[in-house]
A and B are shown apart, each in its own frame.
Chain A
Amino acid sequence: MSEPVPTNSPVAREYKEGFHDDIKTLNSVPKGLSHDVVDYMCDVKSEPDWMRRFRHESLDVFLKQEIPPWLPGLRDEFNYDEFTYYVSPVEKSSRNWEDVPIEIRRTYDKLGIAKEEQKLLGGLGAQIDSEMAYHNIQESLAQKGVIFLSCDDGLKQYPEIFREHFAKVIPPQDNKFAALNSAFWSGGSFVYVPKGVKCDIPLSVYFRINAEQFGQFERTLIIIEDDAFCHYVEGCSAPIYTTNSLHAAVVEIYVKERARCRYTTIQNWSTDVYNLVTKRSLISAHGVMEWVDGNLGSKRTVKYPSCYMIGEGAHGEVLSLASADKGMWQDAGAKMVFLAPNCTGRINSKSISGHGGRSSYRGLVQVAKNATNCRVQVNCDALILDPQSRSDTYPTMEVNGDLATVEHEATVSSVSDEQLFYLTSRGIKKEDAVSMIVNGFIEPIVKELPMEFAVEINRLIGMQMEGSVG
């Protein structure tokens, strides 16, 4: 391996989603977190009492809970009272695009989301700040009993299924940010796929932060019944401000027997967003969960999509892709928890650090005593583009079950001089050669993405890499 070449351009990528629009706010609260804010939200949303209690209790949990010591910086980097915890520009979620307020539609036009609607999607949701402005599902899927609503509408329209599953996978006590989300959650999706129904076209949701110094706490609950399938795809972006914003989502997924769920994220927050997300799935016997987690933006991301294999023969998979550019720290990874026999898991993580960015792989593999004969394979590869950038790996393995096979492989590399000379000797310019090598590095993950996302990722990464290698 050769020495990385020094960076000669400290300029970070261009962020084309960094614009901000003037959108009229209908409901909002004063800055800061308090039980009053919780009550206000419950009133505005006309929520049942159990949810009001749940939110208040969660806030108490949040106030008591500490940030773990392995998340340095987050303890004192911001003051929670700087943020606004609820900002709503819409009265309710519309099913017709034309009913969405014009200025919000304009924002989504600029982001290219309106065009998405014309594509073949099973459903599309669009959240702006605290609320879903739009949520719709194809008639054919609705007829099969597939439910795709904003999480708030899920609570209203399907109170029983909702309550039975809500906060059971990730209780507020799980971590400080899950507690924060539980207290102030708003928006996100509620997905229910009945037994045997295959939702073969993706359900897609886009999250946009427009307000400044704002906290977005979307909550997603996905239930895939026995033998069913669903692919859920989410993207996000925010304006560039000089102040910080906070995004703390919670995603809970139930993959029931022999069911399969794929959850794809293309996270592209602006570099003033703290992205602190808890994502977890419970996988029943012979179910399959696949997280495809792309982290390209944000100031700081803390996110480890998790698979809890609770039924025999379950399979969990996390494909994680992180790109840390100037001013970013991607603390990403995965958790695989084996609680039943004969389960399998795979983690494939790739990170790229450039322009002084930092990426960390943090992973947990846990095999319970009764989870015999489980197999898990972990690969994490880091590409570091210049000496200013940094990459760390923090793998934790706790294996108690018998006959477990645990493989862990990690590599760190830079763009090698040999590769650059080889490619340039064929007439390819150096910057194109670098971007070729970087795109080749992430290819095993990108090829798992839907086509339009793959193109977008290659474009974004190409932009991040510009001028990053001498």
Chain B
Amino acid sequence: MNDTFEIVNLHARIEEREILRGVALTIRKGEVHAIMGPNGSGKSTLANTIMGNPKYEVTGGQILLKGENIVGMSPDERARKGLFLAFQYPCEVPGVRTANFLKLACNARAGKELDTMDFYDKLQEKMKILDIEEKFVRRYLNEGFSGGEKKRNEILQMMMLEPEFAVLDETDSGLDIDALKIVCEGVNKLRGPDIGILIITHYERMLRYIIPDYIHILVDGCLVKSGGPELAAHLEQHGYDWITKDK
């Protein structure tokens, strides 16, 4: 119970449109799952709903984080309980320095004021892994960052916050091949018995670098097929048509 993240018959909508129609999924710590699906299948809605974006309304079902239903909790509460979302489009916050933001976020996650020196030591170590320059964290949060820098920043945050369950929403989009490799290496370093990871992606290319334990296919707000990593290669060859036709 304490090492699972469970989505139970989840229904969610944005405005009046129902997007998720009964998603069910269980992730244990140590596992990496991937959800793939065509455009408009509800991938981003799922990511946002898991994190508690107030724009999305849960109309049924549960999201159980270590056995506790987090539906109705604010995003910050979820984050402090160990959930993390790497955004598809990280937003810019002018005037807020990345390092200051990270320090506050880490304090919030830890529930106490962290030692500044310890924090910076850890930050530098993680920046090295992600091949991030020193001055990067002195810049304003995501402001003027390239697509690749924004995504690297998301993984940096994930490394710093050490979540128990993390959702990566289209982290590969907008990355060139070198940046993709670095980001994936970062995720692979995090991978381990203390974290469960859910990768949401349209393309299989990210899954060449992070081999998931399970792949699920999302179509029209439902998970219609699950399998092992071989499913990705199959999708690469045949596209999504064969599944949507099956339905």
A residues neighboring B (CB under 8 Å): 416-419, 421-430, 432-433, 436-437, 439-444
Q: How far is the CA of A421 from the CA of B54 in the complex (A)?
A: 8
Say whether, besides A426-B161, A428-B76, A421 and B53 are in contact (CB < 8 Å): yes
Interchain CB contact under 8 A, A427 and B105? yes
Residues of A within 8 A of B91 (CB): 416, 418-419, 422
Interchain CB contact under 8 A, A426 and B79? yes
Not counting A421-B53, A436-B93, A441-B94, a sample of 7 additional A-B residue pairs whose C-beta atoms are within 8 angstroms of each other reads A418-B91, A423-B101, A426-B76, A427-B79, A437-B96, A440-B95, A443-B96
Q: How far is the CA of A439 from the CA of B51 in the complex (A)?
A: 25
Interchain CB contact under 8 A, A429 and B95? no
Count chain B CB atoms within 10 A of each CB in A418, A426, A428, A441 and give the residue with the most. A426
Taking a contact as CB atoms closer than 8 A, the residue among B55, B74, B95, B157 that contacts A424 in the complex is B74
Residues of B within 8 A of A423 (CB): 93, 101
Count chain A CB atoms within 10 A of each CB in B53, B75, B141, B157 and give the residue with the most. B75
Residues of A within 8 A of B96 (CB): 436-437, 439-440, 443
Residues from 44 to 94 in B contacting A, C-beta threshold 8 Å: 51-55, 74-76, 78-80, 84-85, 87, 90-91, 93-94
Q: How far is the CA of A353 from the CA of B85 in the complex (A)?
A: 32
Residues of A within 8 A of B55 (CB): 417, 421
Count A/B pairs, Cβ under 8 Å: 77
Count chain B CB atoms within 10 A of each CB in A417, A425, A427 and give the residue with the most. A427
Say whether, besides A417-B55, A432-B104, A425 and B75 are in contact (CB < 8 Å): yes
Q: List 7 A-B contacts (CB under 8 A).
A: A421-B51, A425-B78, A425-B79, A427-B79, A428-B108, A429-B108, A443-B94
Q: How far is the CA of A417 from the CA of B85 in the complex (A)?
A: 16
Q: How far is the CA of A419 from the CA of B141 in the complex (A)?
A: 11
Question: How far does the Cβ of A304 sit from chain B's closest Cβ, in whole Å?
Answer: 25
B residues neighboring A (CB under 8 Å): 51-55, 74-76, 78-80, 84-85, 87, 90-91, 93-96, 101, 104-105, 108-109, 140-141, 157, 161
CB-CB nearest in chain B for A445: B95
Residues of B within 8 A of A441 (CB): 94-95
Interchain CB contact under 8 A, B109 and A427? yes
Question: How far does the Cβ of B12 sit from chain A's closest Cβ, in whole Å?
Answer: 15
Residues of B within 8 A of A444 (CB): 95
Taking a contact as CB atoms closer than 8 A, the residue among B52, B53, B74, B108 that contacts A426 in the complex is B108
Interchain CB contact under 8 A, B85 and A425? yes
Question: How far does the Cβ of B143 sit from chain A's closest Cβ, in whole Å?
Answer: 9
Residues of A within 8 A of B52 (CB): 425
Q: How far is the CA of A425 from the CA of B12 in the complex (A)?
A: 19
Question: How far does the Cβ of B101 sit from chain A's closest Cβ, in whole Å?
Answer: 7
CB-CB nearest in chain A for B52: A425
Interchain CB contact under 8 A, A422 and B87? yes
Q: How far is the CA of A367 from the CA of B70 in the complex (A)?
A: 61
Ranked 6 nearest A-B pairs via Cβ:
A440-B95, A443-B95, A427-B108, A427-B79, A426-B105, A440-B96
Residues of B within 8 A of A416 (CB): 91
Q: How far is the CA of A18 from the CA of B161 in the complex (A)?
A: 42
Interchain CB contact under 8 A, A428 and B105? yes
Question: How far does the Cβ of A2 sit from chain B's closest Cβ, in whole Å?
Answer: 9
Residues of B within 8 A of A421 (CB): 51, 53-55, 75
Say whether, besides A421-B54, A421-B75, A436-B104, A426 and B93 are in contact (CB < 8 Å): no
Residues of A within 8 A of B109 (CB): 426-427
Q: How far is the CA of A139 from the CA of B109 in the complex (A)?
A: 52
Q: How far is the CA of A429 from the CA of B78 in the complex (A)?
A: 11
Residues of A within 8 A of B101 (CB): 423, 426, 436
CB-CB nearest in chain A for B87: A422
Residues of B within 8 A of A427 (CB): 76, 79-80, 105, 108-109, 161
Residues of A within 8 A of B90 (CB): 422
Question: How far does the Cβ of A189 sit from chain B's closest Cβ, in whole Å?
Answer: 33
Say whether, besides A424-B74, A427-B80, A428-B76, A440 and B93 are in contact (CB < 8 Å): yes
Residues of A within 8 A of B78 (CB): 425
Count chain B CB atoms within 10 A of each CB in A422, A425, A439 and give the residue with the most. A425
CB-CB nearest in chain B for A422: B91
Q: How far is the CA of A442 from the CA of B90 in the complex (A)?
A: 21
Interchain CB contact under 8 A, A426 and B157? yes
Residues of B within 8 A of A443 (CB): 94-96, 140
Interchain CB contact under 8 A, A439 and B76? no
Q: How far is the CA of A418 from the CA of B54 in the complex (A)?
A: 10
Residues of A within 8 A of B51 (CB): 421, 425
Residues of B within 8 A of A425 (CB): 51-52, 75-76, 78-79, 84-85, 87
Residues of B within 8 A of A442 (CB): 95
Question: How far does the Cβ of B53 sit from chain A's closest Cβ, in whole Å?
Answer: 5
Residues of A within 8 A of B104 (CB): 428, 432, 436
Q: How far is the CA of A439 from the CA of B74 in the complex (A)?
A: 23
Q: How far is the CA of A339 from the CA of B48 in the complex (A)?
A: 57
Question: How far does the Cβ of A133 sit from chain B's closest Cβ, in whole Å?
Answer: 38
CB-CB nearest in chain B for A432: B104
Q: How far is the CA of A9 from the CA of B76 in the complex (A)?
A: 21
